[in-house]
Amino acid sequence: MTTTRIRLAALSVAAVVAGGLAGCGSSGGEAAEKKGKEGGTAVIALTSDQQGVDAASLNDVRENVTRQLTDSLVYRNPETEEYEPWLATKWTVSDDASQYTFTLRDDVSFNDGTKLTAEVVKANIEALQQKGVHSTPAGLVHGVKVEVVDEHTARFVLPRANAGFLANISRADVGIVSAATAAKPLAERQKSIDGSGPFKLVSWDANRAVVLKRRDDYKWAPASIAHDGPAYIEELRYEVIPEDQVIYESLKAGKVDFFEAVNPLQVNTLKAAGVQISDVIGSPGLAQEQPLNVSNPILRDKRVRQALQYAIDRDAINKATWLGTNQPAANIFARTNPFWTDLGQYLVHDPAKSVRLLEEAGWAQVGSDGIRVKDGKRLSLRAAQNSATVQIEQEAWKKIGVELVIDPPLRAEANKRILTGEYDVTYWEQTYPDADILRANYGRTSGSNRSILDPSNAEDAALDALLEKQAVTSNPEERKQTVNEAATILVRDAYTLAVLERGKVWALGKRLHDVTPNGVDQLFYTAWLSS
């Protein structure tokens, strides 16, 4: 098997999007040719400080910094979409998918010199279940117990059957760290972790840089990656550069080697300067989503939520933010998710229908400021994010009589304040190639409950029951039917607003090659620098 690499685009982004994410393989011969190209420092630009290095408490670091520091029990091959051995050499699954037994490699060490054992794996899962862990990894291992069978065998006993559990543990936010790291308070883990990955942490200087060094003893990469042994690049330096334009000029000048979130408006200028531009890196999880807080009495009425949905002009947002090179969402799932079906009928632009729905919901009166009023209360909502998409929605909703106040929280406080129901229109991003992402995000019983479902509300309870049911259904066709029913409710009844397909465009400086995408995760293990 070969590993997926970015195909550096000689085409326009529009052509790349039309053709989808195209990867090219790398043979053993090519890998051998690169043996003489070890070394160097790659500079990676970040627009803001990541607040630390540990994905147990910080969502943003998992796809960049944390993925270089930690390995997972299993590896999702992005070409085949199959799960392959990584830290585990093999595994068995019980007939009801409630128990997963993993046999571990016996040659893996962490950066602190300690060895991988079943006890360490057990300590990792227990650490992710403590109070204060970020909702994503906490949801992925919710209720899971780990039994130590022997030194290199760990049995995961799930609280309920979960046919998609391998996807959970393939992610960087459930990456395995040393026993000492697992035992640290979360505040200390944010500053420093010891993983088994191809790079080790040298320093995190808040608001300035994160520095990683190559581990010369690394030798346990997944077999399908056409490279073994240590990484090629000696040092990765993640530098905080708040201004996008400074990043673009630095890419052109060769002072920055990688940037993960290129504005499509800058693509042609960068290419003209010799900067390498990737295909659009599509997320295998959900489309660009905006969960709505249904605990707000205004949004409790699904007609109001649907009115917001129909007022969104997704084509206009695509043109304004992607020069038309992306695609409007047609489901809460991204098109790259195997559970995607076309639900576009619920996502058409129809502002006249929005007005009718609002009037049916009792919001017929319009105040002198153009905002609708009901029982003396203005139809005003609060947004947790300030982005071009939200600003366009703000204008569109104002035309139908809805005020959107954009008042984002501090980044470090965002997740907690969103989940407590402080905001009405929120945001989320999760890359996850299985349907269980819906339960993890929207389930009340065992998920993050991002729409703040109310168990006393019959519709909310029915949705939560479907999200739980799909996780324990082992029959593929039955599970797919249940998933589609849940996704339809989420989209049709506007528990969340699906806007565009989610994707990123990467920029690589002239000397950087073969950064491997896995979803939107960045694997610098295979990357190398030319002189």
* Whether residue 481 has pLDDT greater than 60: yes
pLDDT for res 521: 81
| Residue of 334, 306, 296, 239 whose CA lies nearest to 43 | 239
pLDDT for res 81: 82
Give the highest mean pLDDT range of 140-144, 301-305, 425-429, 515-519. Answer: 301-305
Average pLDDT, the chain: 90
**DSSP secondary structure of 136-181:** HHHHHTTT-EEEEEETTEEEEE-SS--TTHHHHHTSGGG-BB-HHH
pLDDT for res 520: 67
pLDDT for res 10: 31
| Residue of 389, 408, 420, 267 whose CA lies nearest to 319 | 389
Does residue 6 or residue 259 have the better pLDDT? Answer: 259
Six token digits for residue 519: 């979803």
Report the alpha-carbon distance of residue 341 to residue 482 in Å, rounded: 13
Does residue 14 or residue 425 have the better pLDDT? Answer: 425
* Whether residue 9 has pLDDT greater than 80: no
pLDDT for res 58: 80
Q: Residues 350-354: what's their mean pLDDT?
A: 98
Three-state secondary structure string covering 451-514: CCCCCCCHHHHHHHHHHHHHHHCCCHHHHHHHHHHHHHHHHHCCCEEECECCEEEEEECCCEEC
Does residue 466 or residue 324 have the better pLDDT? Answer: 466
pLDDT for res 4: 33
Q: Is the pTM of this model over 0.85?
A: no
* Whether residue 471 has pLDDT greater than 50: yes
pLDDT category at 18 given cuts 50, 70, 90 is very low
Instruction: Tell me the per-residue pLDDT of 283-295, one tens digit each, with 9 for 90 and over.
Output: 778 999 999 999 9
Do β-strands 41-46 and 235-240 pair in parallel, antiparallel, or remain unpaired? parallel
* Whether residue 17 has pLDDT greater than 50: no
pLDDT for res 336: 83
Q: What percent of the chain has pLDDT over 70?
A: 93
Contact between 368 and 323 under an 8 Å Cβ cutoff? The reply is no
pLDDT for res 434: 84
* Whether residue 152 has pLDDT greater than 90: yes
Contact between 17 and 327 under an 8 Å Cβ cutoff? The reply is yes
Instruction: For the beta carbon of residue 321, count every other beta carbon within 10 angstroms.
Output: 20
Instruction: Tell me the per-residue pLDDT of 247-256, one tens digit each, with 9 for 90 and over.
Output: 999 999 999 9
Element counts in the chain: helices (H) and strands (E): 19, 24
Q: Residues 197-225: what's their mean pLDDT?
A: 96
Report the alpha-carbon distance of residue 527 to residue 519 in Å, rounded: 16
pLDDT for res 128: 96
How many whole angstroms from its chain centre is CA 468? Answer: 21
| Residue of 509, 510, 454, 502 whose CA lies nearest to 322 | 502
pLDDT for res 519: 74
Instruction: Tell me the per-residue pLDDT of 361-375, one tens digit each, with 9 for 90 and over.
Output: 999 999 999 999 999
pLDDT category at 239 given cuts 50, 70, 90 is very high
pLDDT for res 36: 59
Report the alpha-carbon distance of residue 213 to residue 233 in Å, rounded: 8
pLDDT for res 7: 33
Which residue type sits at 24?
C
Low-confidence winner among 6-20, 230-244, 309-323 (lowest mean pLDDT): 6-20
* Whether residue 15 has pLDDT greater than 70: no
Q: Residues 454-460: what's their mean pLDDT?
A: 96
pLDDT for res 12: 33
pLDDT category at 226 given cuts 50, 70, 90 is confident
* Whether residue 142 has pLDDT greater than 60: yes
